[in-house]
Amino acid sequence: MGCAHGKCCGHRPRSSDSDSREFQEVSQFSVHGKHILTERSIEFVPVPSRNFRLEYSVLTQRGYYPDSPDKENEDSFCIRTQVQGNPNLHFFGVFDGHGLFGAQCSNFVRDRLVDILANDPRLLDDPVNAYSSAFVRTNHELHDSEIDDTMSGTTAITVLVVGDKLLVANVGDSRAVIALKVGDRVLAENLSSDQTPFRRDEYERVKLCGATVLSLDQLVGLEDPDIQTWGDEESGGSDPPRLWVQNGTYPGTAFTRSIGDSTAEGIGVIADPEVCTVQLTPDHLFFVVASDGVFEFLSSQAVVDMVASYPDPRDACAAIAGESYKQWLAHENRTDDITIIIVHVKDLRNAGANAARTASLRMGGGSSNSSFTTASEMYRSMRSEISVFETYQRTISNDRSHAIVVPSPLRSPQS
């Protein structure tokens, strides 16, 4: 869900084929009316400090835009293993661009955020501040770049695996979700909270910064602008509240935090991430990092249920993308861009942890929950357990690969 005057309208230049990290994408309706999506092989990476491994796959697909056939995929992703040459640090991020130069903004942040984070010597000793600083610095660098981000920008949802802990940082309305096994059930737990005017704390913050918050119908006079309640994202998703300058009809962002969007910064759209830390346990099965093209019509629990139904994360990625497209086209005449990273946690043994423990450490106007172990304390204790660092970093490139036909969401997966 992006800006009213950028994400869904207007022609964009076709993406270049020169960047080897870009997926080759094909029409999602090119084989007998079925969705065709790009995919990559399953990747594995060990986490030697805790003697477990991560198994992951990723999928990205341009949306279906009948009025803008040349519109490029504004989503991007970054997977970097062994950050800082450390075999126990692994980064996963999804970036959802918006506006006329959304793809350029998304790609810029994809490249710079992880580099800034990886080069920060405070990362293990003070990870929350290092993460927050990386987001803010990336935002400043985007402003100073040749990319026009006055009305363009990107969301960013990222997960840094540090041993058997997760550090999650988010700006915008993309989402990270983790699966927790409770008895015979697999429950979805959000690792991030969508930053939109539906959230009362975010609504009040941007109002204090001078934003006018109205839905499109309220802006054009079809609904009463004095009614400042819009239900929740499920009930109000078709015409969500958006941010406007006073007495103006721009920028119309449906989110309250992003990287870029320099015009919207004047009314409270900030790049300070909300950060949380999570202690992994053997009951954590996998986590999902995805753009809002997935979560616009699918709940976190629905996504977790689908992943749990497919042993192969490649099949799960394709099934979620296919169901997302189906739901988009049932509600609208287009779809959003879709990007999904699925990471399975394999062979984790952690008998001392009896339950999930999540500490919400909100930055930039949020609150801190002091009842949990702080991120700094956890990472100091973990740092002493890492004995040998690998001497190289490996960035997973988005190599061109064969297309696959999405498994039908209505068909039970083969076991």
Comparing 3-7, 66-70, 293-297, 367-371, which segment has the lowest mean pLDDT?
367-371
- Cα(293)–Cα(335) distance, rounded to whole angstroms? 8
Looking at residue 395, its amino acid is: T
Which has the higher per-residue pLDDT, 14 or 69?
69
Map tokens 């450390």 to a residue.
Answer: 86
- Cα(223)–Cα(241) distance, rounded to whole angstroms? 12
Q: How do residues 356-411 score in pLDDT, each as one tens digit?
A: 444 444 444 443 332 334 444 554 544 544 443 433 333 333 433 333 333 433 33
Instruction: Output the CA–CA distances (angstroms, integers) from residue 67 to 106, 151, 237, 258, 339, in the order listed.
Output: 22, 21, 22, 26, 21
Instruction: Output the CA–CA distances (angstroms, integers) from residue 115 to 119, 123, 138, in the order listed.
Output: 6, 12, 10
Looking at residue 310, its amino acid is: Y
Helix, coil or strand: residue 308:
helix
Q: 237 pLDDT exceeds 90? A: no
pLDDT of residue 120: 96
pTM for the predicted model, two decimal places:
0.81
Instruction: Output the CA–CA distances (angstroms, integers) from residue 246 to 206, 250, 256, in the order listed.
Output: 12, 9, 16
pLDDT category at 41 given cuts 50, 70, 90 is: confident
The residues near 209 (Cβ < 8 Å, ≥ 6 apart) are 266, 267, 268
Q: 19 pLDDT exceeds 80? A: no
Residue 66 sits at the vertex; the CA angle it makes with 222 and 252, to the nearest 5 degrees, is 40
Map tokens 């309706």 to a residue.
Answer: 29
CB atoms within 10 A of CB 26: 14
Nearest to 124 by CA among 159, 163, 93: 163
Q: How do residues 104-150 score in pLDDT, each as one tens digit?
A: 999 999 999 999 999 999 998 898 999 999 999 999 999 999 999 99
Q: What share of the chain is helix, strand, coil (3-state, %, to 5)?
A: 25, 30, 50
